Amino acid sequence: MKPAEKEEEAARMPVTLFDSITAQDEDPAVRHGSPLWVVTFADMITLLLAFFLLVLSFSDLNPEHFRNVSGSLQKSLGRAEKPPPVEPPPAETQLVAGPTEEKLPIPEQLAKDLGKLQKALSTDLVGKKVQVTTENGRLLIQMPARTNGLLPQEMIDLYARIAEAQAQVETPVEVREGEPVDRSAELARQIRQLREVLSKEIEQGEAQVERDGERIVVRMAVQGSFYPASADLSPEATPMLKKVGQAIAKTGGRITIEGHTDAVPLSGHARYRSNWDLSGARASSVADYLTAYAGVDRERVVVRGMADTRPVAPNDTREGRAKNRRIEVLVDAYGG
């Protein structure tokens, strides 16, 4: 075959990938471009970016930290706007001391078991054969009294249903027979007793005793009870605390001690960084005194520092701020 015919036949043959790559390698412009490892490096960077985006999608943004960081960056870059103010932490971050399962008005496990028991005995509850409540961290089933001391078949069947329902819950269950105690009358009696004990302090405006649902609220003014900007109890406060402690020690249920402050920020204090710390420390001091000197069971006590989140008066007057600086003792007289 002549050379011209060979060139014409080669031109008619398809170009393969190998031939294309070989031609590119022979091209000086391609040969002097980016090295081949750049492709692998770019793939690795893309995978890392996807990984961090996946991690970010599972994370929670802390608004407070974001505001602090963004404000600092704006200030550093010379922005005219001032950094966003730092807001106090939400109520979920309150200082709490005592059994951790008692942070809620009713402990979580107790509430779940109460619902299970009510569902299992729903027919008997509708027929008003039983009453299901809580008391001192336990489930209480109130049954009617026996007739002439005998146990009829109806009550035997009821006990069988209660035993079957009890196996579904983790909380201890107590069964009582007879007419239930009038809880409203018992609560009114305890409030009346506390008001009699604190009649002098109530008359002088140093204390209040109120009812909040099925709880007793003893509100005590901080003025004169603590040294200024301190959680140390003054001698003037101990007589009233002893009266309160001896009265509530005879009741049942949980005791929550809350410390409250006014809205004036606490700054420049070496011991307490904020009103959160001060209010929690004052509530703890009251709890320590009640458990050490007034006969209150330590296992019943929960401590909370509320700062200025629940004012009872406006903070724009001296009298209002004085009312907001207080200690509240909340007594769940019937458990829960």
Q: Which class in CATH covers the domain with range 108-177? A: alpha beta
Cα separation, 139 vs 334, in Å, equals 11
Statement: residue 283 has pLDDT above 90:
yes
The whole-number average pLDDT for the span 23-35 is 55
User: Which residue intervals of the chain bear CATH 3.30.70?
Assistant: 108-177
Of residues 59 and 132, the one with the higher pLDDT is: 132
The pLDDT value recorded for residue 215 is 85
Q: What is the DSSP letter of 256?
A: E
The whole-number average pLDDT for the span 226-231 is 83
Radius of gyration, alpha carbons of the chain: 36
The pLDDT value recorded for residue 10 is 55
Statement: residue 158 has pLDDT above 70:
yes
| Topology (CATH) of 183-332 | 60s Ribosomal Protein L30; Chain: A; (3.30.1330)
Q: Is residue 282 exposed (0-12), middle (13-18) or buried (19+ Cβ within 10 Å)? A: buried
The pLDDT value recorded for residue 75 is 58
For the entire predicted model, the pTM comes to: 0.50
Written as six digits, the tokens of 200 are 């002098």
Top-confidence range, 75-79, 86-90, 325-329: 325-329
User: Which residue intervals of the chain bear CATH 3.30.1330.60?
Assistant: 183-332
